[in-house]
Structure 1
Amino acid sequence: MRFDHVGVATRDAADLADLFDGLLDAPIAHEETFDGMEVVFLELDDGGYFELLEPTAGGAIADYLDREGPGIHHVALATDDVSGALDRARDLGVDLVDEEPRPGAWGHEVAFLHPRSTGGVLVEFVEH
């Protein structure tokens, strides 16, 4: 596995994208409306991304912002086999948010591990 992206919950993805582009020279690689969110991927020099998540309706990110405020929401690791990664996590006794892979932004298959089993970090497996 390799680092893929960090997901950042925000109330204004456009403003944050402008800031990170100026600060990190991280241009927009992809934008879409997905699952009640504006999702903006900013490309970093090493091939990783910042994923900015702005809710457009209620949902997990809106709830997160209400509860925690803006900030890092999750860390994503790229894998060639999300199902296999979930099986390994399950075998290790890790609590899963997703029992099976599901569609994610940018057409990827994704699955999340529960932070109570991963040191308080919401971990996402992503298969391109």
Structure 2
Amino acid sequence: MDVGNTEFDHAGIATREADELETLFGDLLGAPVAHRERFDGMDVIFLDLGNGYLELLEPHEGGTIDRYLERHGPGIHHLAFATGDIAAALDTARELGIDLVDEEPRPGAWGHEVAFLHPGSTGGVLVEFAEHG
């Protein structure tokens, strides 16, 4: 099944200090802020690397990132891949026997449609498909 041009989009980083990481990676990598918003109880900051983004995720109202930080501490939370057809990407994952976190795409940060694949089926990595709006 053709899922379109699937390519690396971003690495999501769970943190309790998004502003500090914004400064650190901005200075270290020359990565300016491309987008910032409060979404789903989190501050979300996308830093532009030129060929993808770092997505900094700081929880404010509990939720999945807060629980992740309690269990695992700060660090890489997920890897995201942009696709031109998220429904086809999910169909391909199903055909491959991959367990889905999201059976259907849902709204994500920055106006993207997103869906996650279960890390138990992807080598321990939480994988996100993102279709840009």
TM-score, normalised to structure 2's length?
0.95
Separation of aligned partners in 2, 1:98 and 1:62: 19
Residue 75 of structure 2 is aligned with which of 57, 71, 75?
71
Question: CA RMSD of the aligned region, Å?
Answer: 0.4
- Matched letter for residue 42 of structure 1: L
Residues 18-45 of structure 1, C-alpha deviations (whole Å, 9 max, x = no match): 0000000001000000001000000002
Separation of aligned partners in 2, 1:74 and 1:34: 17
Instruction: Please state whether the residue corresponding to 2:65 is helix, strand or coil.
Output: helix
Residues 63-96 of structure 1, C-alpha deviations (whole Å, 9 max, x = no match): 0000000000000000001111000000111000
- Matched letter for residue 63 of structure 1: R
Tell me, yes or no, if structure 1 residue 82 matches structure 2 residue 86. yes
Tell me, yes or no, if structure 1 residue 97 matches structure 2 residue 69. no
CA displacement at 1:105 relative to structure 2: 0.1
Specify the alignment match of 1:52 in structure 2: 56
- Matched letter for residue 54 of structure 1: E
- Matched letter for residue 19 of structure 1: L
Specify the alignment match of 1:6 in structure 2: 11
Task: Name segments (4+ residues, structure 1) moved above 4 Å.
Answer: none
Tell me, yes or no, if structure 1 residue 122 matches structure 2 residue 126. yes
CA displacement at 1:14 relative to structure 2: 0.6
Identify unmatched segments of 5+ residues in structure 1. Answer: none
Specify the alignment match of 1:28 in structure 2: 33
Identify unmatched segments of 5+ residues in structure 2. Answer: 1-5
Over the matched positions of the two proteins, sequence identity in percent amounts to 69
Separation of aligned partners in 2, 1:6 and 1:15: 17
| Number of residue-to-residue matches in the alignment | 127
Separation of aligned partners in 1, 2:54 and 2:45: 8
